[in-house]
């Protein structure tokens, strides 16, 4: 078995994304660099040989997934019940947590203008959000962050993959300075 075969076998047998360091556990002869190299080879090979699956970077790791173009065929076999889609409030709350993590409930509620306790619990139940610790503030409120599962679910390789702030209007880039924002805003429109 060569490195590429071991990496392929491990990825093939896994039902969740694996980090290079995790794959490397398969054999003493492996290290992260060797794994990364094999991953690149396999990815190119699958693409060039027109395989039905691709090696995708996802959730801080790698996973073999079918090509999106196959969806219409595979959906005919849809025997797995899918979770209900996230509601608008849940998505908004998730978006806030994703960009502002770690963040407390009070801040989330201020940004959305409505209560968030129930929605946060839903996101926790779905494994998309987790407690990151406690703030130093009064009452030491809980802080939340997104999980690896969040990345997997939305198809992001890492938090860096989230839509970049420069594609978005100004605000999320900066936490604070209102003057700046208003300054930029006033100049713009």
Partner 1 sequence: MNGSREPVSRAGDRQGASGLRDARNGANGFLLVDLDRFQGPLDLLLHLIRQQDIDIFDIPIATITDQFLAAVARIEAHDLDGAGEFLDMAATLIHIKAQMLLPRHQEEEEEDPRAELVRRLLEYEQIREISSRLIRAEAERARRFPKGYFHFRPRGFVEDTPLESTWQEVLEAAGGVDLNHPRNRPYRFSTGLVAVEEKVALILEALEGSTRVEFSKLLAPWKEKVHGVVTFLAGLELSRQRAVTLRQTRHFSELWIMRGDMEEWARMQAGDKEEEGEA
Residues with Cβ < 8 Å from 132, sequence gap 6 or more? 101, 102, 143, 144, 145
The Cα–Cα gap between 189 and 142 comes to: 38
Q: How many residues bind a second copy (CB under 8 A)?
A: 27
Contact region for a second copy (CB under 8 A) — 72-80, 84-92, 96-104, 141-149? 72-80
26 binds partner 1 (CB under 8 A): no
Q: Which is nearer to a second copy, 101 or 122 (CB)?
A: 122
118 binds a second copy (CB under 8 A): no
In angstroms, what is the minimal distance from the CB of 87 to a second copy?
A: 14
Contact region for a second copy (CB under 8 A) — 22-30, 85-93, 119-127, 133-141? 22-30
Question: Binders of partner 1 among 151-170, rule CB under 8 A?
Answer: 153-156, 163, 165, 167-170
The Cα–Cα gap between 144 and 107 comes to: 11
Contact region for a second copy (CB under 8 A) — 60-68, 121-129, 141-149, 172-180? 60-68
Residues with Cβ < 8 Å from 170, sequence gap 6 or more? 181, 184, 185
Residue 4, CA distances (Å) to 40, 57, 96 in order: 10, 17, 40
The Cα–Cα gap between 181 and 170 comes to: 7
Task: Write the interaction track for a second copy spanning residues 78-97; mark x where CB under 8 A is met and - where it is not.
Answer: -x------------------
Q: Which is nearer to partner 1, 49 or 85 (CB)?
A: 85
N-to-C CA span, the chain: 62
Residue 28, CA distances (Å) to 9, 33, 43 in order: 16, 13, 23
Task: Write the interaction track for partner 1 spanning residues 86-125; mark x where CB under 8 A is met and - where it is not.
Answer: xxxxxxx-xxx-xx----x-x--xxxxxxxxxxx-xx--x
Q: For the chain, where are the alpha helices, taking DSSP H only? A: 3-13, 20-23, 32-48, 71-74, 88-100, 105-112, 117-125, 148-154, 178-187
Question: Binders of partner 1 among 39-58, rule CB under 8 A?
Answer: 53-54, 56
Chain contacts with a second copy (rule: CB under 8 A)? 1, 5-6, 8-10, 12-14, 25-27, 49-53, 64, 66-67, 69-70, 73-74, 76-77, 79
């Amino acid at each position: 078995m060569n490195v590429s075969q071991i990496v392929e076998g491990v990825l093939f047998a896994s039902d969740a994304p694996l980090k290079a360091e995790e794959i490397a556990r398969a054999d003493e002869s492996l290290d992260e660099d060797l794994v990364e190299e094999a991953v690149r080879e396999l990815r190119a090979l699958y693409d060039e040989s027109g395989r039905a699956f691709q090696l995708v970077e996802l959730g801080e790791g790698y996973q073999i997934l079918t090509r999106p173009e196959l969806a219409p065929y595979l959906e005919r076999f849809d025997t797995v019940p899918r979770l209900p889609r996230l509601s608008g409030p849940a998505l908004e709350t998730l978006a806030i947590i994703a960009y502002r993590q770690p963040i407390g409930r009070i801040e989330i509620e201020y940004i959305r203008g409505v209560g968030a306790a129930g929605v946060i619990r839903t996101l926790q139940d779905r494994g998309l959000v987790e407690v990151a610790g406690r703030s130093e503030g009064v009452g030491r409120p809980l802080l939340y962050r997104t999980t690896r599962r969040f990345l997997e679910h939305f198809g992001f390789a890492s938090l860096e993959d989230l839509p970049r702030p420069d594609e978005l209007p100004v605000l999320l880039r900066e936490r604070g300075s209102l003057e700046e924002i208003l300054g930029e805003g006033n100049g713009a429109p």
